[in-house]
Amino acid sequence: MILLKVDRVGAMLKRRVVDKVFAPIKAITVVPYQLCLSFLLLLAPMVEALEFTGVWQQGAMLVGQTLPSDRVVFDGRSVTVTPSGHFVAGLGRDVKGPVIVKVVRDGESQQFSYPVAQRSYNVQRVNGVPQRTVSSPSAKVLTRIRSEGKLVRQARADNDLRVDFLDGFIKPLEGPITGVYGSQRVYNGTPKNPHYGLDIARPTGTVVTAPAAGVVKLVHDDMYYSGGTLIVDHGYGLSSTFIHLSKILVKPGVRVNAGDALAEVGATGRATGPHLDWRVNWFNVRLDPALVLKYFPAKP
């Protein structure tokens, strides 16, 4: 009887889930393995399949579906499963794969292996940024850069149990794309770190809106590289960062809805002209905002 109950809960979840989230998510099937004879116990998988929305590609965001009571370890990192059985995760720019996802159910562990499609990133030469943001920084500036980096890392480290990310994402700004995720950046002739954001060019003062609901985690008027910097947390480690802003319209701790005005476009920090640089993170893993928009569009 208990087993039947578990299956019914699973079926209920399936219906709820299909209603709530992006269409492609299908719930996993629970195999009533306890009913099998002992030799079948060895053959029958505990979790038949693990369903993901998203794409197994470098830079991708993924949302998995399992049972709320499961414990999930994604690529060595323990992830929190939402009350509806979802979990969010992501693949970094240079992940080689295969990525192992471990599911622990009723004390039994099962592993799934996923190959990761490799991408080739272009080289983008950016000339005309302030030379001070390209040359080796002085000790004093280095201290500043490090303390700002710490603030950003802390803001992205929270694991707020809000499922804002499940409602999908909209573009925070319409405009020409002038920079993409992953490209190798050469500033004023000097190779620097890859570019992790989606650059959208618009005049200074153009309003940037929230791509999804969330809570404002960090507001900083002038960081050395990123200038006016804003971080909005969409729950379970998924966050948006907006940089080079001229003005920030929201305060830390405030809750925002998708489409709310957040800030104004600027050219602060290491920038050649006014544009929004929008970044998406899963904790410290940098994801491609273009893939987030493509595979997790908000329902109209």
Q: Which among 119, 163, 171 is positioned nearest to 276, based on CA atoms?
A: 171
Nearer to Zn ion, 95 or 126 (CB): 126
Nearer to Zn ion, 70 or 277 (CB): 277
Q: Which residues contact 157 (CB under 8 A, 6 or more apart)?
A: 283, 284
Query: At closest approach, how far in Å is the CB of 246 from Zn ion?
Result: 15
Kindly tell me the sign of the dihedral angle through the C-alpha atoms of 267, 270, 275, 277. negative
Residue nearest to Zn ion (CB): 277
Query: At closest approach, how far in Å is the CB of 229 from Zn ion?
Result: 12
Q: Which among 185, 194, 165 is positioned nearest to 84, based on CA atoms?
A: 165
Site for Zn ion contains 288 (CB under 5 A): no
User: Binders of Zn ion among 160-199, rule CB under 5 A?
Assistant: 179, 197, 199
Nearer to Zn ion, 175 or 179 (CB): 179
Query: At closest approach, how far in Å is the CB of 277 from Zn ion?
Result: 3
Query: At closest approach, how far in Å is the CB of 218 from Zn ion?
Result: 18
User: Binders of Zn ion among 197-226, rule CB under 5 A?
Assistant: 197, 199
Q: Which residues of 161-185 are buried (b: 16+ CB within 10 A; e: fewer)?
A: ebbbbbbbbbbbbeeeebbbbbbeb
Number of Cβ within a 10 Å radius of residue 221: 13
Nearer to Zn ion, 47 or 200 (CB): 200
How many chain residues touch Zn ion (CB under 5 A)?
4
Q: Interface with Zn ion by CB under 5 A: which range of 32-40, 92-100, 221-229, 270-278?
A: 270-278
In terms of C-beta distances under 8 Å and separation of at least 24 residues, what long-range contacts does 18-21 make, across chains too?
20/84, 20/166, 21/53, 21/63, 21/84, 21/86, 21/166
Backbone phi and psi for residue 119, each to the nearest 5 degrees, phi listed first: -115, 155
Nearer to Zn ion, 75 or 199 (CB): 199
Query: At closest approach, how far in Å is the CB of 185 from Zn ion?
Result: 8
Query: At closest approach, how far in Å is the CB of 242 from Zn ion?
Result: 11
Query: At closest approach, how far in Å is the CB of 173 from Zn ion?
Result: 13
Site for Zn ion contains 277 (CB under 5 A): yes
Nearer to Zn ion, 75 or 277 (CB): 277
Backbone phi and psi for residue 34, each to the nearest 5 degrees, phi listed first: -65, -20
Decide if 75 contacts 38 (C-beta within 8 A). no
**SS3 assignment, position 6:** helix
* Integer Cα distance of 34 and 16 in angstroms: 26
Chain residues in the site for Zn ion (CB under 5 A): 179, 197, 199, 277
